């Protein structure tokens, strides 16, 4: 929705930040208070993914972030998928899935998880209550439009609401649902795909094809996401009509992220040049670096159970692989531009993104002091 004013002005005004850069929210232990605070403290919007966080832990978590930084930050929720609400029907069906993982459990000396807990999921409605009670400065969602009570609650506490779209139709749906900002997430983005109106395979629009179309289709600020990891990408997104960018993998490489050392090393290696969409780690399509586990189980991609069952079956393997620094067994979430990011500290990385983009555009990106 760029209207010819200073690049990023519409976004920084809505979110109350200095730089039009949002840190992509991570789940699965990859989000940290330190990263969220570092990005927000440096003038961007730090984000913390709470989709796997028990409701009773959300309030204390938000207070920890608030104690670490006085600038705005976002708390991110996953919208439940209707087709995943039905549990895997019985123990026999789950046993077929654990059988194909037997060799991986044995390799790490693990017992298969209790099948009675495979379908366990966090109570989303209770999470919504907890987030609204915690009153974070900004709320963001992926996987679908926010429910009306979340929209109304966000309005009540004065928190701008960010939604994530992978197609133009989804962007329009998010604006109609009440989102104040729309993230246009291209198929090159790392981690879980948030498509909700059509199958993922029909929603893999590249970032720089998606952004100008979304910018033309909605009137709220648009944030470009996917394959943006340096100042050139930031400048390109703004030139195509975005009001800001969301950077995930680049911040995942920084010291403050919760990525394991093995994951961080993989993001900086030649291995990161090859990424794939896979359901093997969680039951939902997600982009990550191709490794031995992904290649070895490729024939099971369409047969693994949906989230959260597959996610729960894989958690012990993923945890032990991280502990033992075994990237061949890890979910190495990554976008397609990982090697463009330098690593280092989050604050230095954000400063470089803004400075380099400003140089390319010949315009300053920083909002003036209030």
- Residue 37, domain CATH: 3.20.20.70
367 within some domain: no
| pTM for the model | 0.95
* 181 assigned to some structural domain: yes
pLDDT in tens, 11-42: 999 999 999 999 999 987 899 999 999 999 99
Residue 7 confidence (pLDDT): 76
Grouping H, G, I as helix, E, B as strand and the rest as coil, residue 84 is helix
Q: Is residue 223 part of a domain?
A: yes
Do residues 117 and 87 touch, judged by C-beta distance below 8 A? no
The whole-chain average pLDDT of the chain stands at 94
Residue range 336-349: mean pLDDT, rounded: 97
Q: Is residue 160 part of a domain?
A: yes
Mean pLDDT of 137-153: 98
Closest CA to 356 of 233, 182, 245, 253: 233
Identify which has the larger pLDDT, 8 or 87. 8
Q: How many domains does the chain have?
A: 1
Binning pLDDT at 50, 70 and 90, where does residue 4 land? low
Tell me which residue of 165, 145, 162 sits closest to 207, measured CA to CA.
165
Place 368 in a pLDDT band, splitting at 50, 70 and 90.
low
Domain range for 351 is 9-361
Q: Is the pLDDT of residue 250 over 90?
A: yes
pLDDT at 155: 98
pLDDT at 87 over 70: no
- In 49-159, which ranges are continuous DSSP H helix? 55-68, 91-99, 102-107, 124-134, 148-157
Q: Does 313 reside within a domain?
A: yes
Q: What is the mean pLDDT of residues 68-96?
A: 84
Q: How far is CA 157 from the centre of its chain?
A: 24
Q: How many angstroms separate the CA atoms of 257 and 247, rounded?
A: 13
Going by their DSSP bridges, the two strands 73-78 and 191-192 should be labelled as unpaired
Is pLDDT above 70 for 370? no
pLDDT tens digits for range 42-77? 999 999 999 999 999 999 999 999 999 999 999 999
Average pLDDT over residues 270-288: 97
Residue 1 counted as domain residue? no
In this predicted structure, the answer to whether residue 228 has a pLDDT above a threshold of 90 is yes
Q: Residue 366: inside a domain, yes or no?
A: no
In a domain, 195, yes or no: yes
pLDDT band at 286 (very low <50, low <70, confident <90, very high): very high
- Is residue 234 within 8 A of residue 211, CB to CB? The reply is no
Where b means 16+ CB within 10 Å and e means fewer, 231-258 reads: bebbbbbbbbbbbbbbbbbbbbbbebbb
Please give the Cα distance from 272 to 290 (Å, whole number).
Answer: 8
């Amino acid at each position: 929705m760029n209207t010819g004013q200073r690049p990023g002005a519409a976004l920084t005004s809505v979110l109350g930040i200095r730089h039009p850069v949002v840190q992509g929210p991570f789940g699965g232990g990859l989000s940290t208070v330190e990263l969220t605070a570092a990005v927000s403290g440096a003038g961007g919007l730090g984000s913390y993914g709470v989709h796997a966080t028990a409701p009773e832990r959300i309030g204390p978590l938000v207070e920890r972030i608030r104690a670490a930084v006085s600038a705005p930050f976002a708390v991110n929720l996953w919208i439940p998928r209707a087709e995943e609400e039905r549990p895997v029907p019985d123990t026999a069906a789950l046993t077929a899935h654990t059988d194909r993982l037997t060799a991986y459990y044995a390799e790490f000396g693990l017992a298969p998880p209790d099948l009675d807990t495979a379908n366990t999921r966090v109570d989303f409605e209770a999470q919504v209550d907890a987030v609204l009670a915690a009153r974070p400065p900004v709320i963001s969602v992926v996987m679908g439009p926010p429910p009306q009570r979340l929209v109304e609650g966000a309005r009540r506490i004065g928190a701008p609401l960010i939604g994530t779209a992978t197609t133009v139709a989804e962007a329009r749906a998010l604006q109609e649902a009440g989102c104040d900002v729309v993230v246009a997430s291209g198929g090159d983005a790392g981690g879980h795909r948030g498509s909700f109106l059509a199958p993922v395979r029909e929603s893999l629009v590249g970032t720089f094809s998606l952004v100008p179309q979304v910018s033309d289709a909605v009137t709220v600020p648009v944030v470009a996401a996917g394959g943006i990891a340096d100042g050139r990408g930031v400048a390109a997104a703004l030139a195509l009509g975005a009001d800001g960018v969301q950077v995930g993998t680049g911040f995942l490489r920084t010291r403050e992220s919760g990525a394991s050392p093995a994951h961080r090393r993989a993001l900086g290696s030649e291995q990161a040049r090859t990424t794939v969409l896979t359901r093997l780690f969680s039951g939902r399509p997600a982009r990550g670096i191709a490794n031995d586990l992904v290649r070895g189980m490729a024939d099971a991609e369409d047969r693994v159970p949906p989230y959260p069952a597959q996610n729960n079956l894989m958690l012990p393997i993923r945890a032990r692989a991280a502990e033992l620094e075994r990237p061949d067994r890890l979910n190495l979430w990554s976008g397609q531009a990982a090697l463009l990011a330098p690593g280092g500290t989050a604050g230095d990385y954000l400063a470089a993104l803004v400075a380099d983009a400003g140089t390319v555009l010949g315009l300053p990106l920083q909002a003036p002091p209030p």
